[in-house]
């Protein structure tokens, strides 16, 4: 009985010691957590270093946007300039903010400057998705224009192919071609109409607008690729019907 009491008291002591240890560790961790969540920078230079890193990341991304726009051969020079000018405008703004941040001497205005990197610019959340979308939009508009212009040639060839063996199929494809180009045009106009609202001031509402914007661009792209497929088939069939007679006459 005595042994049992000793056994219990020893274990209870060990258990309570372990409990105290665990609680104290938990307390330390709990106390440390708010310190980590709160501003860890206690000096202006620390805030400046943090802000400059965030600015540099964004400047690098904007430079890449400019390179991508300039290297995109599907865009006209004017279209490339629109993207490059927008990137330059954001770069200028960020560089001005960096200058302001570097000149701060108190921590509170330095923290406000850092906040403005997000609030005023929203490079990742708004500018880049909008501008890369605009590159896609320009590309789609150019492809659409090319195929719309080709409609005159298709019509002329259809007129000459009235007795051709593939004329029925060609006419069906031509109708589908025009429908797809019309649908692509509607979706491109929809995407274009959303661009003015894709500005940092409208964040976070821009998130849902961007979803619609990208969906419109995607639908337009699929329509254009469908139209391109129709045109490919029409070209083959028209060549089959008219290609032989053309060869003999020329």
Partner 1 sequence: MQTISKRARFWLPLIVLALVVVLALGGCARGANTGNTSSNQNTSTSSQNPTSTSSAGGSSTSSELQHLQQVDQQNQNDANNLNNDDQNANQNFGNDQETQP
Least distance in angstroms from the C-beta of 22 to partner 1: 31
Least distance in angstroms from the C-beta of 214 to partner 1: 6
Residues making contact with partner 1 (CB under 8 A)? 38-41, 46-47, 49-51, 57, 61, 68, 72-74, 111, 114-115, 118-119, 122-126, 128-129, 132-133, 135-136, 139-140, 143, 146-147, 150, 153-154, 156-157, 160, 214, 217-218, 221, 224-225, 228, 231-232, 234-235, 238-239, 242-243, 245-247, 249-250
Alpha-carbon distance of 98 to 89, in angstroms, equals 14
Among 103, 238, 64, 68, CA closest to 168: 238
Q: What would the DSSP string read from start to end of 166-181?
A: THHHHHHHHHHHHHHH
Least distance in angstroms from the C-beta of 116 to partner 1: 10
Do the Cβ atoms of 191 and 217 come closer than 8 Å? yes
* Nearer residue to partner 1 within complex by CB, 14 or 33: 33
Q: What would the DSSP string read from start to end of 221-237?
A: HHHHHHHHHHHHHHHHH
* Nearer residue to partner 1 within complex by CB, 87 or 123: 123
Least distance in angstroms from the C-beta of 85 to partner 1: 19
Alpha carbon separation from 234 to 91, 160, 194, 202 (Å, rounded): 47, 14, 35, 46
Alpha-carbon distance of 245 to 247, in angstroms, equals 5
* Nearer residue to partner 1 within complex by CB, 31 or 149: 149
């Amino acid at each position: 009985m005595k042994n049992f009491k000793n056994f219990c008291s020893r274990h209870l002591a060990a258990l309570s010691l372990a409990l105290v240890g665990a609680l104290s560790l938990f307390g330390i961790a709990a106390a440390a957590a708010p310190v980590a969540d709160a501003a860890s920078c206690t000096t202006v230079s620390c805030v400046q270093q943090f802000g400059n890193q965030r600015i540099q990341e964004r400047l690098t991304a904007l430079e890449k946007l400019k390179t991508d726009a300039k290297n995109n051969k599907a865009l006209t020079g004017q279209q490339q300039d629109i993207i490059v000018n927008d990137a330059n405008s954001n770069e200028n703004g960020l560089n001005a903010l960096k200058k302001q941040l570097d000149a701060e001497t108190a921590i509170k205005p330095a923290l406000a400057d850092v906040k403005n990197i997000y609030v005023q610019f929203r490079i990742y959340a708004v500018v880049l998705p909008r501008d890369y979308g605009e590159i896609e939009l320009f590309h789609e508009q150019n492809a659409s224009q090319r195929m719309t212009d080709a409609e005159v040639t298709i019509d002329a060839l259809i007129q000459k192919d009235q007795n051709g063996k593939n004329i029925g199929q060609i006419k069906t494809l031509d109708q589908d071609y025009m429908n797809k180009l019309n649908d692509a045009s509607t979706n491109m106009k929809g995407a274009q109409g959303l661009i003015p609202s894709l500005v940092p001031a409208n964040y976070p509402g821009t998130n849902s607008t961007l979803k619609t914007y990208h969906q419109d661009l995607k639908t337009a792209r699929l329509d254009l690729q469908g139209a391109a497929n129709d045109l490919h088939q029409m070209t083959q069939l028209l060549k089959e019907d008219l290609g032989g007679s053309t060869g003999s006459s020329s």
